[in-house]
Every structure is written in C-alpha cells, then in structure tokens.
C-alpha cells in the first residue's frame, strides 16, 4: 500500500501530464497500482493487513538470482520458473519484479514520439553465443520504426560498413517501405565526424544508400546515443528475451531464421503498454506513410581493384580465380557479396567473371571457357619420335 504522500504525488504528476508508466517507474510500483490510486477520490486509511502466502514464494530466491545475473525480462523469467513447477500467472511475476527495477542503473530519458513513417532508428549490439559448436561473438543489427515500434533484427559476424548497409536494406525490405529519416549512432560506417557548428560529415557509402532509398540521414549528438532511445531499448529487449531463450545455433542461417520467427511470433504481437496496442497493429497506420522501395536493390558488396596476371588469374583472399584471357595484364574491379559471391567487372563496369569464394586448399578456381583461346594460341613444337626410338635401341 502506498502512503498518503504517494497518493497526492500520483494525482499531481498525472495532472501535469506525466505518463502512467513514468509515474510507476518513479514510485517503484506497477502501473495497475497507479491506475487504482488515480481512480480513488481520497487516499486509503487503515492498517496494513498481513500478506497471504503466494504461489510465487518458493521461486522468489530463483527470481532474485536471475535479476542479479542481469535477466530482467518478466516473460523470460516466467518461462524459466514454469519449467521449475510454478503454476501461477505472469502478473505475480511482474508485480514482484517491478519494485526492484529501481535497483537497475537509471536509463530514463525523454521520449519523443514521431509521426507514422517519419523515422527509423538503427543500432548494433553484441554478445557471445554457441555457433556451430564454437563460442563466438555475434553482432546484432536492430532497426526500429519510431511510430509503430515494429523492429527487424539481423545477426552478422561484424559491424563494418557493408554489414551495416545490408542490415538497413534487409530492414527496409522487411517493412516493405522507406521512412523519411534514418537515425544512426556515430559508427564510422555512417558518420565520419561532427564538424564545428554541428555539421555532420557522413560516410560516402551511407550517403549513397540514403540517396538510393530516398531517406534523410540523421546522426545522434556526440556522447548522446540515447537520442535513439527506442532502438537502444530494443537492443536490450532482444538480448534479454531472444538470447535468453535461444543460446545455441547451428549456423548463421539458423540464427537469422530463428530471429525472423521470433520477431513475427513474439515481438510484433507484444502489447505496448503506453499505447495498449501491438507494434503489428500500429504498423497498419505506419505502412501507408512509408515511401515505396526502389526497383533495384542497393549493392552492399565489398569492392576492390586487381591487376589480372599474364596467366589470366587474379588473387583474392588467398586463392586465385580465372578471368577471360583477353583481360591479361589489365585492371579490373571486384565486388564480393556477403554470401561470398565474387563478381569481376571490366573498366566499363561490365561483368566478365563470377565465382564462389573458396579456401586456398580447394585449389585455383578456373572457368574453362576463360582460358580456351589462350591455350589455342600457344604453339606446341612437333618432333619425330623416331629419334628417341633409335637412342633406346
């Protein structure tokens, strides 16, 4: 039971326009309590009654241990204690955890709501998991639409420019449209520097991506990543929810397949308490406000230059790959997609060769038609074998 002072504080904060969820966070109680006190004409009086036993009592020590380990998602904890025999509902779990959230580091910041289709927020997170039987670091790109809170998550081995652009492209394709602005942190894949006067110098590749899809690039203020608080919260949500349920993956494809399934079945239908709607329901309004996707997909391949050897091969990542013999000694450009497809282009940007990247132990990769004219042009000296027959005899 809250005190008389808490009662009047709730009334005053609500009168000033504070959200119920923020009032509950400030007082360390649940939102139902705030709503109940707002409905009362006057504060309650009388002595506190002795609390009754709860179905949750045998599991409280386990919950406390989970909180100490950094697991604060009530749904994840509910799933775990049900495996231990808990027969109650999720409300008891949430009510028990809510007052303890004040023990977490304060991340509170001002929330700015945006119109449908106005903004997408992008951020990366990372953690270690078991992938193909080995412990490795996984980087997760999270993209969130500001109005609906609908998200897209993609796992990758690193956070370089090419993977950043691929994550954004996949998110736009997932949403089926393009928002007016994309807000990013100050990673080098997107932002080179903040100049004097507040001017932002964006990475040229990121500007090309923005121009291709027709969105305006925006960057957080330096040392203020919480400007994009919606996506920061969702990075934590993915870590505390998805990666608490799933911790072992057969491959990158398996990991991303599970992420897509989880987003569709868990993240999209969840209820946003401040709106009493799900992201999927709010996305109906946002979908109509998104710009159409362009006809051509943005190319997120790695790019490089090579000189073709006189034997008609180029060296790429420790192995050698054939190109047509007519390009011997000439310069060519390379594009290596994130699925390890190698494409070779001439100076006119025409495709002249395509290979799958292979390990050095697989040997040189040769397309027979590339070198057939070369071998035909090589003269072979003809000798009469009778000379050797005389020597042997």
Residue-wise pLDDT tens digits, 120-137: 999 999 999 999 999 999
User: What is the pTM for the complete model shown?
Assistant: 0.65
Helix (H) or strand (E) holding 229: helix 229-245
CATH 1.10.630.10 fits 119-287, yes or no: no
Residue 116 pLDDT class (50, 70, 90 cuts): very high
Would you call 175 exposed, middle or buried from its count of C-beta atoms within 10 A (0-12, 13-18, 19+)? buried
pLDDT of 382 strictly over 60: no
User: What are the strands, taking DSSP E only, across the chain?
Assistant: 119-131, 134-145, 151-156, 181-184, 191-194, 200-202, 216-219, 248-249, 302-307, 313-316, 319-322, 331-336, 341-345, 351-356
The backbone torsions φ and ψ at residue 160, rounded to the nearest 5 degrees and listed phi first, read: -75, 180
* Dihedral sign computed on CA atoms, order 240, 246, 248, 249: negative
Mean pLDDT of the region 47-63 = 76
How far is it, in rounded angstroms, from Cα 337 to Cα 107? 38
Mean pLDDT of the region 201-214 = 94
pLDDT of 388 strictly over 90: no
How far is it, in rounded angstroms, from Cα 15 to Cα 83? 43
Would you call 80 exposed, middle or buried from its count of C-beta atoms within 10 A (0-12, 13-18, 19+)? middle
Fold of 302-377: SH3 type barrels. (2.30.30)
DSSP at 222: T
Mean pLDDT of the region 75-91 = 88
Query: 98-107, 167-176, 206-215, 321-330: lowest mean pLDDT where?
Result: 98-107
Nearest to 120 by CA among 271, 283, 261, 300: 283
Computed over every residue of the chain, the mean pLDDT equals: 86
Q: CATH 2.30.30: which residues of the chain?
A: 302-377
Q: CATH 3.30.420.10: which residues of the chain?
A: 119-287
Residue 8 pLDDT class (50, 70, 90 cuts): confident
Res 379: pLDDT: 54
Give 160-201 pLDDT, tens digit per residue.
Answer: 999 999 999 999 999 999 999 999 988 888 888 888 767 888
DSSP at 42: S
Res 35: pLDDT: 87
Other Cβ atoms within 10 Å of 16 Cβ, number: 7
């Amino acid at each position: 039971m809250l005190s008389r002072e808490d009662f009047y504080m709730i009334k005053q904060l609500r009168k000033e326009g504070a959200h119920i969820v923020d009032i509950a966070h400030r007082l360390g109680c649940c939102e139902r309590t705030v709503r109940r006190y707002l409905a009362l004409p006057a504060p309650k009086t009388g002595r506190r009654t002795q609390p009754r036993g709860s179905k949750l009592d045998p599991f409280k020590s386990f919950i406390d241990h989970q909180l100490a380990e950094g697991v604060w998602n009530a749904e994840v904890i509910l799933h775990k204690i049900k495996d231990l025999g808990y027969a109650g509902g999720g409300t008891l779990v949430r009510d028990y955890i809510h007052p303890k959230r004040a023990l977490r580091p304060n991340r509170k910041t001002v929330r700015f709501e945006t119109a449908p289709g106005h903004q997408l927020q992008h951020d990366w997170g990372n953690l270690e998991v078991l992938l193909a039987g080995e412990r490795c670091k996984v980087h997760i790109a999270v993209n969130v639409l500001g109005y609906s809170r609908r998200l897209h998550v993609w796992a990758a081995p690193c956070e370089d420019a090419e993977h950043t652009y691929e994550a954004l492209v996949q998110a736009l394709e997932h949403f089926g449209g393009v928002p007016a602005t994309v807000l990013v942190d100050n990673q080098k894949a997107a932002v080179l520097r903040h100049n004097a006067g507040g001017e932002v110098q964006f990475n040229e590749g990121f500007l090309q991506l923005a121009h291709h899809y027709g969105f305006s690039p925006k960057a957080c203020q330096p040392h203020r990543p919480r400007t994009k608080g919606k996506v920061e919260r969702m990075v934590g949500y993915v870590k505390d929810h998805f990666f608490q349920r799933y911790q072992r993956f057969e491959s990158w494809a398996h990991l991303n397949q599970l992420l897509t399934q989880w987003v569709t079945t868990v993240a999209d239908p969840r209820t946003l308490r401040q709106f009493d709607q799900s992201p999927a329901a709010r996305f109906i309004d946002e979908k109509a406000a998104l710009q159409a996707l362009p006809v051509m997909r943005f190319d997120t391949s790695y790019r490089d230059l090579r000189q073709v050897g006189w034997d008609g091969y180029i060296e790429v990542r420790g192995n050698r790959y054939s190109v047509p013999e007519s390009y011997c000694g000439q310069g060519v450009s390379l594009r290596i997609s994130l699925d390890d497809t190698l494409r070779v282009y001439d100076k006119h940007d025409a495709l002249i060769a395509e290979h799958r990247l292979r390990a050095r132990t697989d040997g040189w990769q040769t397309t027979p038609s590339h070198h057939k004219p070369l071998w035909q042009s090589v003269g072979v000296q003809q000798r009469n074998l009778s000379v050797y027959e005389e020597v042997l005899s």
